[in-house]
Chains A and B, each alone.
Chain A
């Protein structure tokens, strides 16, 4: 694998790991945004169905 990319295994681990971290961090933004959005929409729907949470 490493000879395919021209990088050593260590470089692959290092840069691949960083890329994975960045990807995870970057993906957390839209995923979080979608979850917040759908969560709010769901809360509104719950309030419509059940009323505002009591207590």
Chain B
């Protein structure tokens, strides 16, 4: 060793040794100075000077000289002086960490982590040096310098080894910091807890203490597989980068805990939470694993572990998991809500569309387009196969029910569809049996098959609004053809005969003759209908029929042009207000009703020997003439316009709101239709049925008893009303659309036939279904189901009756009548006998009643609208029909059937769903019993049907068009 007096020794003429600053296992360390650069350096006198070959040492130093790293001192030179080999390197100002520990200064954990990272960077650099890396081999606090700037520097490479392919043999170690491999302990392939096996001859440094003393210089014992066994026979354990990692872990362990780790790696106790963080402890535990395979396999891996401390901390990971879970839950919630809202929106759009379609369906139905109404209603009903579709709306179901008319069992005319013409009609005619409809428009005559509503023929016609067409029989049409009067066979589609140009036509009641006149001319020609032979001609002299200058806007209905039964008499009105009856056989027999007058509007026709007419738009004059005697039988002046139809069937006269059949013999009138406050503007009569159009743009049908059957509404006044063969056709001069209605009979639904003239307000079926009771405050009748009247009674003091209730129970059925004075009488529904009579306190006069269903309580009184309350909550759920009095409520499954009587006395029912939405209008509903709906239209029939499910309604709707064409509806 060099002594103090040698301190100013010059080495290699370049370095001046100044102070000895330390000694270790590798040699003595001096502080020196570079004489030329005046730079402090460290000179390290190698202990191996005497034993190692100089060249070998030079190669080692050359290897170290090539190192350049922030945390590793730079080795500059390798010099020899007096047989001592010096390694010259950077002087690192500061103090080693063992000094710090010697003062019991435990650095804080962040500081230790920072140093650890710097050391690991340095180690990574060393271990990655070509060709196989450099092993420090003696990492411990004493070999780590803490610089003034707070960074560290790894020093003392005295026992650093260049690694071979398989590692390097150990050369020295520091107890506690050295890895088990340093002691020759082989844990590879063993359980970590297994006892470590020691290899004989590898126990070093026993009984020594202190870092310096324990750092032993062992000399190079060789590298590579061939050098693993020493000359003395001891087994050499190869060291590798993982040995440095162990040492570094032990060093950090000491720095953090202040205590040196146990020499035996298996006895090293993990650092607790009071010393360092669990994550740091885990890193150290792994770095100090006895089995190298269980340690970090490289410095870089361990460095990453430190660098990832923030991310890998349990609390950070837990926080990230919470954040991710919160984000996932909220995102899922948002997306789910968005999806639900989108589905809901689509369903609402579909629902709104369905509501619109339901309205369109109702409009189409009101216009008589039943097929269109059914089609639209079906479109409003979703298929139910898609989540984008809402549930079926009650409005759609009601539209379909109304369009199908399944609950309207009254015999009468029902809308059967519409016919579209190219332009508005001038004239309509129906064949006698209703097979064909002829419509004259500008300027054609179209013939339609009534059942299919398909066009059978289109015939060119006179260019005049006065052009006419008449059916001489079922398949033969006579019309004012473009070339002249033409007879046409509709079935054979061929012209039968033609005649002279004509506009107006008149057919005799026996259909044997047809009179034709061109209104621009003053003569008439009479043809035989069978072959078109001219049978008569007659000149009007200087008279001609009333035409406008431009007859496109003329109204043929303003004139009379009619033949009598056999075509021998012809009635004609003229432009000067004249009205004549020409005797086509005997001109001397002509009759003049008005030679000239101020009337510009005439209506009239023949019935038998009688000619009936009316003249004038206002304050019309009606008259009746006996053509046989040529005598005016009488007439009257009306306050308003009169409508008259006289033909082979009879004389029908509409005056204001009354349509009547007039008997020419007795001048008596029989009521056919009464339209209340509405004026009749057009009418048609066929087979006892009357069709009356009114000034509200509506029209109504009446049966032979003048009972109202049904009514329809329209946008325009009905100028044309024709009936024949069970069909009715309605049209107006301004619209090209014709409405077809067909007589329907519902005899299959017949429950009971009774005297149609018996006036009653209600009809009820007994509990056993054997009798029906028809009653009003005046009295009642009991019928059996074969229509035999079993009993009839008048009720006493009818004006004092407060209420009537029909009661059904397991014991029987009764009509219970309550008088205002409290008298209550019960009449047996089986035979009408008085069952009981009692006197109670007089009832209140508001007719207050309550009805209960499973879910609702319904309060009804005379002067307020029925109110529905939920039984559970007591909250009001709905207000029912406001202008009608609720009489009964029946629950049928999930449906409610409410029965009303309107202010006008009309009885009807409303079918409600469980949410009190209207599903169907039930006209004439009088009872609900035995699962059947019973209808009474006051026309002598009780009829019944069951409730139709939506599926049945849909099926009916889908086959409606087919059934309608086949006439099986």
A residues whose Cβ falls under 8 Å from a Cβ of B: 3, 8-25, 27-28, 31, 35, 38-39, 42-43, 45-55
Contact = CB atoms under 8 A, between A and B. Distances in A.
A39 B322 CA distance: 11
B117 interface: yes
B319 A42 contact: yes
4 nearest A-B residue pairs (beta carbon): A14-B344, A20-B337, A17-B341, A13-B344
A46 to B, nearest CB: 5
Interface stretch (B306-314, B540-548, B564-572, B607-615): B306-314
B109 A16 contact: no
Interface in B272-305: 277, 279-280
Main secondary structure of the interface of B (DSSP, over half): helix
Contacts of A35: 319, 322-323, 326
A6 B269 CA distance: 70
B345 interface: yes
Nearest to A7: B344
A3 B914 contact: yes
A14 B339 CA distance: 9
A16 B323 contact: no
A49 B758 CA distance: 105
B111 interface: yes
Interface stretch (B328-336, B484-492, B628-636): B328-336
A22 B330 CA distance: 10
B848 interface: no
A55 B310 CA distance: 12
B340 A17 contact: yes
Interface size class of B (residues with CB under 8 A): 35 or more
Nearest to B304: A55
A16 to B, nearest CB: 6
Given A17-B344, A18-B337, A19-B337, A8 B110 contact: no
B950 interface: no
Contact of A21 (B110, B306, B338, B351): B338
B154 to A, nearest CB: 18
Contact of A24 (B110, B313, B337, B351): B337
Contacts, number: 117
Contacts of A13: 340-341, 343-344, 347
A9 B390 contact: yes
Contacts of B117: 54
Name, among B280, B323, B914, the residue most crowded by chain A CB atoms within 10 Å (CB to CB): B323
Contacts of A9: 347, 390-391
Name, among A15, A45, A46, the residue most crowded by chain B CB atoms within 10 Å (CB to CB): A46
Contacts of A8: 351, 390-391
23 contacts: A14-B340, A14-B344, A15-B341, A16-B337, A16-B344, A17-B336, A17-B338, A21-B333, A23-B333, A24-B333, A25-B334, A28-B334, A31-B326, A38-B319, A42-B319, A45-B315, A46-B310, A49-B277, A50-B110, A51-B114, A52-B110, A53-B310, A55-B307
A10 to B, nearest CB: 4
A40 B817 CA distance: 86
Contacts of A48: 110
B316 A46 contact: yes
A42 B316 contact: yes
A49 B109 contact: yes
B310 to A, nearest CB: 5
Nearest to A52: B110
B173 to A, nearest CB: 30
B334 A24 contact: yes
Contacts of B306: 54
Contacts of B326: 31, 35
Contacts of A27: 330, 333
Main secondary structure of the interface of A (DSSP, over half): helix
B396 to A, nearest CB: 13
A50 B316 contact: no
A10 B351 contact: yes
A27 B717 CA distance: 64
B121 to A, nearest CB: 10
A11 B322 contact: no
A12 B337 CA distance: 11
Given A23-B337, A35-B326, A55-B307, A14 B315 contact: no
B853 interface: no
Given A12-B344, A24-B333, A51-B111, 6 more contacts: A10-B351, A17-B344, A21-B338, A31-B330, A48-B110, A50-B277
B344 to A, nearest CB: 3
A43 B277 CA distance: 15
Nearest to A38: B319
Nearest to B387: A13
B479 to A, nearest CB: 56
Contacts of A52: 110
Contacts of A46: 309-310, 313, 315-316
A38 B333 CA distance: 23
Contacts of B330: 24, 27-28, 31
A27 to B, nearest CB: 6
A2 B550 CA distance: 66
Nearest to B333: A24
Nearest to B324: A35
B341 A11 contact: no
Interface in B104-118: 109-111, 113-114, 117
B880 to A, nearest CB: 17
B255 to A, nearest CB: 14
Contact of B348 (A10, A38, A51): A10
Name, among A16, A22, A42, A52, the residue most crowded by chain B CB atoms within 10 Å (CB to CB): A42
Given A20-B336, A38-B319, A54-B114, A15 B109 contact: no
Name, among A23, A49, A53, the residue most crowded by chain B CB atoms within 10 Å (CB to CB): A49
Contacts of B390: 8-10
Contacts of A16: 337, 340-341, 344
Nearest to A53: B310
A24 B328 CA distance: 11
B708 to A, nearest CB: 38
Contacts of B334: 20-21, 24-25, 28
A45 B313 CA distance: 11
B948 interface: no
B275 to A, nearest CB: 12
Contacts of B348: 10-11, 14
Given A35-B326, A54-B114, A14 B310 contact: no
B8 to A, nearest CB: 44
Contacts of B316: 42, 46
A47 B323 contact: no
